[in-house]
Amino acid sequence: MIQKKQIIVASIATNEETDNHLITKMIDEGKENSGKVANVTLGDAGYFSGEEISKAETKGYTILVNEPPKISKKAEGFRKEDFEYNKDKDIYVCPSNRELEFRHKIKKRNKNRLIKVYRCKEHKTCSNRALCSSNKTGRRIERYEFEESLENQRAKQKLKENKKLLKKRAQIVEAVFGWIKHNGNFTRWHYCCLESVEAQWLLLCSSIKLRKLYRVWDVKGLVYSN
């Protein structure tokens, strides 16, 4: 969506449970329709995916995507977040300054993800072992193949200017759903199959765009003739 005029440049209807794998596709479609890409694309937590963020980075797209809130649990020992990853040495360093070395790779069947496994070889002599792991083979850390992209995204979101941008996301896009539901009195789909639902959704989006564009044309006094 174009922020200043709130004009929709891309829209997709989907039957996927989440939007995790859609943000790059949405940017691609917006680029195809408008010929341009936003300086920064903002997304809600539903778009937070290491794979998609990595794909966007590869294509040169700048995105800021809110991270889903984490379920807070009382910390009884060292969390993964307490371990620092050293990219040059490809190791994790624990709060006790001991190194967890890369051992092997595995693939998670349920999510088809490639995971790197790191283990500590000094766990038997570590004075903080009780805070780290009760496993007899020592602490195990798993690193997701797109975790670097997630780390870069989290670092971006710590910047003051990016925090301000993310706060604007809701006011830019959520109003559209209000127009559709309240002003347009549209609260349910009238068809079942995805193809028909998408056609109806595109028609709704087109009506909003025409209303927005009409205001621009009216202000500028543009006249179109056959």
DSSP per position, the chain: -BTTTTB---------S-STTTHHHHHHHHHHHHS---SSEEE-GGG--HHHHHHHHHTT--EEEPPPPPPP----S--GGGSEEETTTTEEE-TTS-EEEEEEEEEETTTTEEEEEEEES-GGG-TTHHHH---TT--EEEEETTHHHHHHHHHHHTSHHHHHHHHHHHHHHHHHHHIIIIIS---S-S--SHHHHHHHHHHHHHHHHHHHHHHHHHHHT-----
* Structural domain boundaries, residue 113: 80-146
Report which of 88, 47, 91, 85 is spatially closest to residue 65, judged by C-alpha positions: 47
- Assigned domain for 15 exists: no
Residue 64's pLDDT band (cuts 50, 70, 90): very high
Kindly state whether residues 107 and 123 are assigned to the same domain: yes
Kindly state whether residues 156 and 142 are assigned to the same domain: no
- Assigned domain for 136 exists: yes
Mean pLDDT of 200-214: 87
- Strands 63-65 and 41-43 come out as parallel
**pLDDT reading at 72 higher than 80:** no
**pLDDT reading at 184 higher than 90:** no
What's the confidence (pLDDT) of residue 2? 52
- Assigned domain for 3 exists: no
Q: Which phi and psi (to 5°) does residue 7 adopt? A: -100, 130
Q: What domain count does the chain have?
A: 2
- Assigned domain for 4 exists: no
Q: What percentage of the chain has pLDDT greater than the value 70?
A: 90
Kindly state whether residues 89 and 36 are assigned to the same domain: no
Kindly state whether residues 162 and 199 are assigned to the same domain: yes
**pLDDT reading at 3 higher than 60:** no
**pLDDT reading at 136 higher than 70:** yes
* Chain CA centroid to CA 124, Å: 39
Mean pLDDT of 79-108: 92
What's the confidence (pLDDT) of residue 207? 87
Mean pLDDT of 64-83: 80
Kindly state whether residues 64 and 85 are assigned to the same domain: no
- Assigned domain for 91 exists: yes
Kindly state whether residues 159 and 216 are assigned to the same domain: yes
Kindly state whether residues 157 and 205 are assigned to the same domain: yes
- Assigned domain for 37 exists: yes
Least confident of 66-75, 86-95, 151-160: 66-75
Kindly state whether residues 89 and 54 are assigned to the same domain: no
Q: What percentage of the chain has pLDDT greater than the value 90?
A: 48
Given 102, 121, 146, the domain boundary residue is 146
pTM: 0.78
Kindly state whether residues 89 and 140 are assigned to the same domain: yes
Report which of 49, 50, 42 is spatially closest to residue 162, judged by C-alpha positions: 42
Kindly state whether residues 204 and 95 are assigned to the same domain: no
**pLDDT reading at 204 higher than 80:** yes
Q: What is the spatial order of strands in the sheet that 84-86 belongs to? A: 84-86, 91-93, 99-108, 113-120, 140-144
Round to whole Å and give the CA distance between 95 and 73. Answer: 19
Kindly state whether residues 158 and 213 are assigned to the same domain: yes
Kindly state whether residues 136 and 170 are assigned to the same domain: no
Given 146, 173, 198, the domain boundary residue is 146
Mean pLDDT score of the chain, rounded to an integer? 87
**Which carries the bigger pLDDT value, residue 77 or residue 64?**
64
**pLDDT reading at 222 higher than 80:** no
Residue 111's pLDDT band (cuts 50, 70, 90): low
**Which carries the bigger pLDDT value, residue 56 or residue 70?**
56
Given 146, 165, 181, the domain boundary residue is 146
- Assigned domain for 201 exists: yes
**Which carries the bigger pLDDT value, residue 173 or residue 153?**
153
Residue 156's pLDDT band (cuts 50, 70, 90): very high
**pLDDT winner (highest mean) among 6-15, 72-81, 84-93, 202-211:** 84-93
- Assigned domain for 116 exists: yes
